[in-house]
Each structure stands twice: as C-alpha cells, then as structure tokens.
Chains A and B, each alone.
Chain A
C-alpha cells in the first residue's frame, strides 16, 4: 500500500525523535495546531515526584551508546536479576521507537550526551533476592548530568521507582525530524512515596482473567509506581485457584477446570513478575460470605439453607459451627501462607448474608448454646476470630474489609482495616473510627473504578484523599494508603485494561505524591501525556478527552 510506505518513511526520520525542554535555545517550537509548545508538553512525570528541580540544560541519549551500569560501590551487581531485568525493560521503554538508531554520524555538540545511568544501591543489603514488603524503602535520588547520570537508592525497590522516573524524563521533542537523539533534563531530587500501600485490586472470580492480562496490568502498575497487587482470586462465581491440598476446589468450582484456572506455576509467575517490579501480591480468600464456588469442591463447608424444616438444597456462607470447617481452613491457609510470600493475606469478611444461617436449625441451636441470642454478627465474629487465630498461627498478618471491624470482632493490633463502604462523609467517619481505635487502615471507597460514568471521572478519583477526615496526626499516620478496585461483574480481559487505565493513574498520584499536589489542570496536562506513554508501551489506556497520541494504540 502506497500510503503505508509513505508513513514508514516518515517514521524512520522520526526515529530519533527529539528533544528540547525547558529553554528553547533555538527559539520556540510550535505544534501542528499552531500552539506554542511548552516544556510541560514534553516533561510529564507521573506520579509527580516529591521534589523536582529542572535546569535549562538538556541532554541527549543515543540508543547505540547509552548504558545502564552498576555504580562502583553499589551493593547490587550483575547478579541482581531485579535490576538486570529492569535495565532491559527500561531500555525498551526509552528507546522503543528509536532502537535502531540508524544515524550514528549525527552527534550533537560534544558534552551534551548522557552515556550512562549509574545505579547505586547504598545500603549493604540491596534486597535483590527478597520480596517487597509494607516497610520496603522505596526512596531514591536521581541526578542527571553528563556523561553520567546517577541513581541512588538504599534498596532495589527505590531503584525501580527511580528507573521509572528516569524513563519518564526522556521524550521525543518537536524537532523530531531533525534531531536524532533523545534528550534529558537535568534534574535532582530525593523522591519517596507518601503512602506505603498503593494497590490495585483485580477480581478473577466474576470473570476469569487470562494470565496475560494480569501481567500486562502489573506492567502498567509499575509505570504508575503502584506496589500492591490485591488479587481477589475467588468469590461466589468461581474458584480459579488450583490448590495443591484441595484440588477439587478449582476442579469443581472454577468456570472450567483446565482453561479457567491459575495453576501453581501461574501463581508463581505472577508473584515473580510482580517482584521484579517491586510489587507485592496480596491474595484475598474472602470468607465466610462470597464463597458459593468453594462449596462445589469442599463438601459440608457451606451452610445448608432451610425452607421451613427441610434443607432447601441451596447453601449459604461457610458453616461456622463445624470443626471440619476450621480443620479445612487451617490446612488451606497453611498452603496459602507458603504459596504467597507476602506477610499479609486478605481474609475478606465482607457482606455476609445472614438469612441462610437464620434458616438453619443447627445454627440456631448453636447460637443458643453460645448465648448469641439473635445477633448473627456475633456468629460471624465467632467465625472470624477462629479464622484469625488460624492465620496468625501461619505467621501471617491479615487485612480484612471494614465490616469485620464494624462488627466488633477482636482483632490483633497489626490488622489492616480496608475501608470500602459509604459515601464521602461515611468513609471519612469510618477512617476516623478505625484509626481512633488504633488500627492501621487503607481506603478504597472513592476508588471503585468499576463504576463508570460519562466524561472525566478520573477527576473525582484524583480529588479524594485518604487523610481527609477529622483526626489527630497520630491517627493520620495510621493511614497506610489505598487501593483502586476493579470488581469483575462487568469486566473481563476484553475491557479491563482501558477501564482501569488511566483512571487508576489518578489514584496512583494521590498515593505517591505530596498531599499538596492537587492542581487538576496541571494533572490533566501531565496525565494526557502519561496515558500516551502507556499506549506507546503497549498498554491500551483509554483517552481522557478529545486529542491524539503521536503513536496511537495499534493492538486492535
């Protein structure tokens, strides 16, 4: 096709795209619509670092000369697979469209080229072989100078964040046809996250999510400095997790026992893929409600519901009065504690429907024996407490949905309470109550991204702040972060990625950047470009509004 030929030719010239930034030494640059291009049109850091200094100096990068290196004295070296993999990944991101770098002859004025990024891990243990955790140090410092830029971080986790920032400093400028190299601004800053827990929840029960989709979203999470993948792996609709100890759970409880499951190898791959990006994987096995699918593969686990005096043939929540239930849970969570290395496991505990329990005569008898009267939340507490004891014995900490706290279940003080209910006033009051009681908490209510509406609803997500509630400084310190949730009723591989991104990016900035970063029009300008950057990197992030990306999504 003639047209394609022309396009490719032009693409080759573009290859080295370009540069220019804070000061236009060669005069102003204009875009096709006649708008004067500002440096913010090129420099779009997301989420915004704590502090950015940029000078008028710009540098160039060349795909054929640029290198990532381990700095002398760094505690990480070429045996650090996290960094080695990250170098390759970020080289691809930076030079994606310029990889071939055909024009080697064209060197710019001497001394203006960055030849390497030296990465220095400054603490004795780089944690190259470890897993990220709630207390991981993600701070880093980046200084860009020629011929060497330097990235310093106490741990590899900070280095990963710094590499992302470094890659975001590189851009193609408006001289794309003439200039043959990429350019950097000169920047120095110590950067660190405002919150330690910055998560995305995906629901692989309402719809099965093929591995590829989960991995792609881990990639996108790293581009947004997220550090927790909350894997809501099972629910009423299906149980795709293949348990070694209880294989019938997925054999009978998944949508399909072979094509719609996560095998141990799959789970391992997700965990390792996430680790490489400094992302924790917190598995949620929600009980005692949301467990219909468990019942197919585990006899007597669920409560038989009754119509009058006979079983109706349907089942309710987990049966909390049988010893076999707790034996099963002990075995199951022991497995989970070895499969998922993170120090936390999410135990759910939300939306328990009491009607089935109420209908069951054995449960009623048990309630009488225990002196619970008609208060079924006491029965729920009874269950949860025993479950928490089981999980504690596996040396795991736990996260629970807010109901568990609301119902007065006795909780260890290191329990993380996940707030998800109510309107703005209600969740703020809940945050105040939870932190008032001395518990650490994280927020999701304003970030249920499965809810969609016409227009730019990322703005609402952006404006919400987990520390917006009435409480002391000590209470605010108990807020460890938040999570963007994408529940799966209406979402599967076909629409997940564009529904999540860039809307989840808004949440990412709220959780990483300084509390004072709130300028929505500045955010818009940066986010538009960040979204194009994600598109360029192969993530089909949907548009914020009318406009275009230089390289449109081509994965149709």
Chain B
C-alpha cells in the first residue's frame, strides 16, 4: 500500500480532473445521490455567507441554525478563527452565499422519532442552495457542504460544482456510551456528540448507570449517586450536566436516549436505595449480598415509577431504554420470599416469567408516562405471549439476523447492535467488519424490513474511559454510520470506502477528534495532543 503517494496531497482534485476515478473528494457517509464535476469555485472566509431563503419557514433567531452557521463556518474555514469575519461580508461585492430553505418549523423542538432528515444541496457558481423539510435535515446538509470544501496546496479553499439529494436509509443511527463502568467526564461526551454529527449519527444512547456506579444525580433520590457513584461529587452527572448534554445533542440534531437498565445490572442502585435489590440467601439466611431488583415488592414499583417519572421529565425523547438484559436468576432462586411469590403467581420454577412480570410492569409505567420503551432482546426472548409494544434492541452475537427476523415477525421494531460492539478491539485493522454488515439480509416481508428502524454502535466501558474512548470509537464508528445512512448497493465495496474513510479520518483529526489511523500513512494535520 503506497499511501505515501497521497494523490490529494500532490495534486488536489486530480481524480476529478481525470474524470471517472472514484473521487476522494467525497462526503462521509455517502449521500444517496451525488453528482459532482471538475468545475470548482474558490471560497474565502471573507466572502462567505449563510442566509435564510426568503421563502424559508425558518428565520434568524432559530438557534439550531444560527449555532450551526457559526459551527460550520469554523469547520469550513478552520484557520479563520470562527465568525470573526462577519464584518467583511458587506465589503465584498459577491460573497459566496449558502442559502438555506427549510420548509417547516419549528426550531425550538427536539429531534424525534420520525424527524425528516432529507435535504437537497446544489452548489453552483457563487452560491449553494440547501433545501430541507426540517432544521434537522438542514443540519445534515450543512455537514455535507462542509465536507465538500477542500483546501489546495496554497491553502486556498474551494468547492466543486455538486448536486446532492440525500436522506438516511435508517431513521435510528445510534451510539452507546457507558458511563457506569468508567465515568466519562462531560467533555468526553460532548466531543463524542460533535463527532457523531460529523458522521450523521442521530441518537446518543446514554447507558448512564449499571452495576459498578450510578453517576446520575437524581433530584428525587439523591442518595443513588451520593452512595452509588464512584465519587459523590467528582464522578457524577448533575442535572445541569444532563441538560447540557441534551442541549448540545439537540443543536446537532441528536436525540438522547437514556437507559436505566433493570432489573439486572443494578448493584450500584442498592447502595442508595435500601430494599430495592433482592437479598440473596445462603440456605435459610440472607448472605449479605444482593441480586437484581426485587420484583415482588410494591415499594419497588413505586420507586421505579417515581424515578422514571423524573427521568422522563429530564430527558425529552419519546423513547426510554429500560434495559432488561442479562438477569442472573441465582439470587432470586435463593430467596424464600421470591419462591413463595413464584408459587402464588403460578410461575413454577420458570424465572423468565418473573422477569417478564417485572418488565411488563416497568413497560406499563413507561407507557403511562407516554414513552415508547426500548428493551434489550432478552426481554423479547423471555416473553413469548402478550408482549407489550416495545422496541427490541438486538445485541447478542451469533445469528443476529435470525433474531431480527423473529422480532419483526412478531410485529415489533428492531434496533440492531450485535455487529457493532466497538469496545472489542483488534486485532487491528478491523473497520471493514463494521462496514460489511447487511442489516436487512434476512428473509422477511417488506413490512418486516420496515420494522428495522436502525442500528447502534456500542462502546461498553469495561476497558474504556476518557483516555482511550475517542481513538477506539473513531473512525470505526464511521463505518457503521455509513452502513446506517447510505444506500447499501452503492457502498458495498470496502476497497472503495477505504480511501474515502482514510480521508474522512484526517478531516476528523483536523476537527480535533482523536480518530485513530486505518493503516500506514499520514494526515496533513496530525493529531496534536498526546
């Protein structure tokens, strides 16, 4: 691989000038339709203007777009130091104008299930026209626009004549961070949100609590983090922190899906909420250890209802993730009260029925709170009759598409995570593994395929904290992002994707995202940290 002969570096735009050669000057993830030509227009930070189209439903004062203009100005002209050149706009006779035309408001809402992210972008002499249905679509279009801008050897910026018509293949394109196994400082989360926007990922799945720690500072139950976090002051997310994450995400068109996983994965909850967890027994006596949430006490459901009520007031998204995975039954089995309850309920010795009973109650609470529940596939697997309406997240390895098929056959929506567990590193050059996923390659009706709403990259935290999060996520998560956004037929070749992704990775570095290399080679601007 002679990556030292980086065409872009030697002769920018050569590929285009020669015509026909797959262009490195491309957008990641690949738009549904893109036509560009060798015709190019030079850009200058002093003569560059974003404006709302006269007919746009959105005007100045729309914070999502106002902020995006500031952000993308800096991304497009990284050496210009942000919007400092505003005053030059009027001194230049003919600024290059990016006209944004959004069909529908509002601006102050949140991206949501079903938000339309389609956009159309036309770059022609002196202007670019970006049209979209919503501001969220406009954000996607601005991202594409920013990726079209290149810098030649003399440092001059230019953009090629281009037409893009674009929309996501899947509406749910998520990324999971785990802030329980290791606490992630706010800055690490915000930076991840930035990088997500660059890859057009649109759901931040916040696996905020788990066995090892409970960093969410609850208004109603402050003891949960006080006693369950790694540290009650330094290793928590305050309400302000959470609001900041949600707002940072909103401004980038990213939904925040909070997960409060129960009844398993809750050891840390027990420290701050007495009698929530099931006391385990050794013989006839309590052993002093605790198992999953105790599903037989009314107090459990009162607590969960209160907690989820708070959670839904804090997290605006219409989805809430209720977990439900990997429940270890051994503690329940040891507890005489649980056994008595099982008998009373006629569950026999089938503890999956007890879990289903619990999850049913929790899903009902969430339904009453007007939320759609998301659960890990275990819940679906255990609960074969009278399933409530929930979205199933498929995470287990093996024939994951078999599971997708089963879930969709039952008429439930699916989020696919199995092939995208990025916390598993190495051996090394493995991004193609995440690229070569075919989420819909199962036998099923059109209706079934439509139930696959998307997929998600998971970065579990056993071996990951702020020191290594970014390079482990990026650019591998970009591979998944393209799979979830782009047309599968157009993006089926790893070989064609490689130079584009290599290029995109350098762009991420330039934007301050600590993305690791795919293979030998270099970026014009190397990572400047350590």
Q: Which residues of A contact B (CB under 8 A)?
A: 1-3, 6-7, 10-11, 32-34, 206-208, 210, 212-213, 216-217, 237-238, 255-256, 259-260, 293, 450-456, 488-499, 535, 538-548, 550, 552-556
A10-B234, A494-B509 are known contacts. Are A256 and B9 too (CB-CB below 8 A)? Answer: yes
**Chain A residues positioned under 8 Å from B515 (CB to CB):** 494
A542-B463, A542-B468, A552-B466 are known contacts. Are A495 and B428 too (CB-CB below 8 A)? Answer: no
**Chain B residues positioned under 8 Å from A548 (CB to CB):** 182-183, 213, 230-231, 235, 465
- Which chain B residues in 417-438 approach chain A with CB under 8 Å? 423-429
**Chain B residues positioned under 8 Å from A455 (CB to CB):** 463
- Least distance between A221 CB and chain B CB atoms (Å): 13
Q: Which residue of B lies closest to A540 (CB)?
A: B467
* Cα(A34)–Cα(B268), bound, Å: 12
Of B182, B233, B524, which contacts A256 at CB under 8 A?
B524
Of B227, B461, B516, which contacts A492 at CB under 8 A?
B516
* Cα(A542)–Cα(B516), bound, Å: 15
Q: Which residue of B lies closest to A546 (CB)?
A: B181
User: What per-residue 1/0 map shows which CB atoms of B234-248 lie under 8 Å from chain A?
Assistant: 110010110010000
A1-B240, A10-B233, A32-B231 are known contacts. Are A556 and B526 too (CB-CB below 8 A)? Answer: no
Please state if B234 and A489 are interface contacts (CB–CB under 8 Å): no
A452-B425, A498-B471 are known contacts. Are A206 and B462 too (CB-CB below 8 A)? Answer: no
- Which chain B residues in 455-469 approach chain A with CB under 8 Å? 461-469
**Chain A residues positioned under 8 Å from B114 (CB to CB):** none
- Which chain B residues in 150-204 approach chain A with CB under 8 Å? 181-183, 185, 187-188, 191
* Cα(A545)–Cα(B462), bound, Å: 5
Number of CB contacts from chain A to chain B under 8 A: 178
Of B231, B271, B429, B530, which contacts A550 at CB under 8 A?
B231
* Cα(A259)–Cα(B155), bound, Å: 14
Q: Which residue of A lies closest to B426 (CB)?
A: A452
Q: Which residue of A lies closest to B267 (CB)?
A: A33
Please state if B4 and A212 are interface contacts (CB–CB under 8 Å): no
**Chain A residues positioned under 8 Å from B60 (CB to CB):** none
Please state if A453 and B520 are interface contacts (CB–CB under 8 Å): no
Of B229, B424, B518, which contacts A454 at CB under 8 A?
B424
Please state if B240 and A2 are interface contacts (CB–CB under 8 Å): yes
**Chain B residues positioned under 8 Å from A33 (CB to CB):** 271
**B232 interface residue (CB < 8 Å to A):** yes
* Cα(A2)–Cα(B238), bound, Å: 9
List 7 A-B pairs, minimum CB-CB distance, nearest first.
A495-B471, A498-B468, A540-B467, A255-B522, A452-B426, A548-B230, A3-B238
Extra contacts, 11 of them, besides A34-B271, A213-B530, A495-B514 (Cβ < 8 A), are A3-B240, A210-B526, A293-B4, A489-B429, A540-B468, A541-B467, A547-B212, A548-B231, A550-B231, A553-B185, A556-B469
Please state if B183 and A552 are interface contacts (CB–CB under 8 Å): yes
* Cα(A332)–Cα(B425), bound, Å: 41
| Selected A-B contacts with CB under 8 Å, 7 pairs | A256-B522, A293-B4, A456-B463, A488-B520, A489-B428, A493-B527, A552-B234
**Chain B residues positioned under 8 Å from A556 (CB to CB):** 185, 187-188, 191, 466, 469-470
A33-B271, A495-B471, A543-B465 are known contacts. Are A238 and B519 too (CB-CB below 8 A)? Answer: no
Please state if A546 and B461 are interface contacts (CB–CB under 8 Å): yes
- Least distance between B211 CB and chain A CB atoms (Å): 8
Please state if A208 and B526 are interface contacts (CB–CB under 8 Å): yes
- Least distance between A20 CB and chain B CB atoms (Å): 18
Q: Which residue of A lies closest to B237 (CB)?
A: A3
- Least distance between B54 CB and chain A CB atoms (Å): 39
- Least distance between B513 CB and chain A CB atoms (Å): 9
Please state if A555 and B233 are interface contacts (CB–CB under 8 Å): no
Of A32, A210, A452, A456, which contacts B427 at CB under 8 A?
A452
* Cα(A126)–Cα(B353), bound, Å: 75
Please state if A552 and B271 are interface contacts (CB–CB under 8 Å): no
**B517 interface residue (CB < 8 Å to A):** yes
| Interface of B, helix, strand, loop or mixed by DSSP | loop
**Chain B residues positioned under 8 Å from A10 (CB to CB):** 233-234
- Least distance between B90 CB and chain A CB atoms (Å): 36
Counting chain B CB atoms within 10 Å of each CB, the highest count among A455, A544, A548, A550 belongs to A548
A33-B271, A490-B428, A548-B230 are known contacts. Are A540 and B530 too (CB-CB below 8 A)? Answer: yes
Counting chain A CB atoms within 10 Å of each CB, the highest count among B191, B467, B471, B519 belongs to B467
* Cα(A492)–Cα(B471), bound, Å: 10
Please state if B233 and A492 are interface contacts (CB–CB under 8 Å): no
* Cα(A550)–Cα(B235), bound, Å: 9
- Least distance between A45 CB and chain B CB atoms (Å): 22
**B444 interface residue (CB < 8 Å to A):** no
- Least distance between B438 CB and chain A CB atoms (Å): 24
Please state if A212 and B231 are interface contacts (CB–CB under 8 Å): no
**B125 interface residue (CB < 8 Å to A):** no
* Cα(A98)–Cα(B235), bound, Å: 20
- Least distance between A237 CB and chain B CB atoms (Å): 5
**Chain B residues positioned under 8 Å from A555 (CB to CB):** 466, 529-530
**Chain B residues positioned under 8 Å from A450 (CB to CB):** 428
**B496 interface residue (CB < 8 Å to A):** no
Please state if B520 and A489 are interface contacts (CB–CB under 8 Å): yes
**Chain A residues positioned under 8 Å from B287 (CB to CB):** none
A453-B425, A495-B514, A548-B231 are known contacts. Are A208 and B519 too (CB-CB below 8 A)? Answer: no
Of B182, B424, B471, which contacts A546 at CB under 8 A?
B182
**B222 interface residue (CB < 8 Å to A):** no
* Cα(A186)–Cα(B214), bound, Å: 38
- Least distance between B411 CB and chain A CB atoms (Å): 36
**Chain B residues positioned under 8 Å from A238 (CB to CB):** 4, 522
Q: Which residue of A lies closest to B425 (CB)?
A: A452
* Cα(A2)–Cα(B289), bound, Å: 37
Of A213, A451, A492, which contacts B426 at CB under 8 A?
A451
Please state if A7 and B233 are interface contacts (CB–CB under 8 Å): yes
- Least distance between A275 CB and chain B CB atoms (Å): 20
- Least distance between A546 CB and chain B CB atoms (Å): 4
* Cα(A45)–Cα(B9), bound, Å: 48
**Chain A residues positioned under 8 Å from B271 (CB to CB):** 33-34
* Cα(A6)–Cα(B226), bound, Å: 14
**B521 interface residue (CB < 8 Å to A):** yes
Please state if A237 and B4 are interface contacts (CB–CB under 8 Å): yes
- Which chain B residues in 440-465 approach chain A with CB under 8 Å? 461-465
**Chain A residues positioned under 8 Å from B234 (CB to CB):** 7, 10-11, 550, 552
- Least distance between B380 CB and chain A CB atoms (Å): 26
- Least distance between B512 CB and chain A CB atoms (Å): 10
**B528 interface residue (CB < 8 Å to A):** yes
- Least distance between B237 CB and chain A CB atoms (Å): 9
**Chain A residues positioned under 8 Å from B231 (CB to CB):** 32, 548, 550
Q: Which residue of B lies closest to A3 (CB)?
A: B238
Counting chain A CB atoms within 10 Å of each CB, the highest count among B191, B462, B521, B522 belongs to B522
**Chain A residues positioned under 8 Å from B427 (CB to CB):** 451-453
- Least distance between A487 CB and chain B CB atoms (Å): 10
**Chain A residues positioned under 8 Å from B299 (CB to CB):** none
**Chain A residues positioned under 8 Å from B428 (CB to CB):** 450-452, 489-490
Q: Which residue of B lies closest to A236 (CB)?
A: B520
* Cα(A488)–Cα(B428), bound, Å: 11
**B275 interface residue (CB < 8 Å to A):** no
Please state if B464 and A543 are interface contacts (CB–CB under 8 Å): yes
Q: Which residue of B lies closest to A498 (CB)?
A: B468
- Least distance between B446 CB and chain A CB atoms (Å): 38
**B3 interface residue (CB < 8 Å to A):** yes
**Chain B residues positioned under 8 Å from A494 (CB to CB):** 470-471, 509, 514-517, 527
**Chain B residues positioned under 8 Å from A1 (CB to CB):** 240, 244
**Chain A residues positioned under 8 Å from B238 (CB to CB):** 2-3, 6
Please state if B468 and A454 are interface contacts (CB–CB under 8 Å): no
**Chain B residues positioned under 8 Å from A7 (CB to CB):** 233-234
Please state if B4 and A542 are interface contacts (CB–CB under 8 Å): no
- Which chain B residues in 95-147 approach chain A with CB under 8 Å? none
Q: Which residue of A lies closest to B462 (CB)?
A: A546
Please state if B467 and A542 are interface contacts (CB–CB under 8 Å): yes
Q: Which residue of B lies closest to A531 (CB)?
A: B467
**Chain B residues positioned under 8 Å from A552 (CB to CB):** 183, 185, 234-235, 465-466
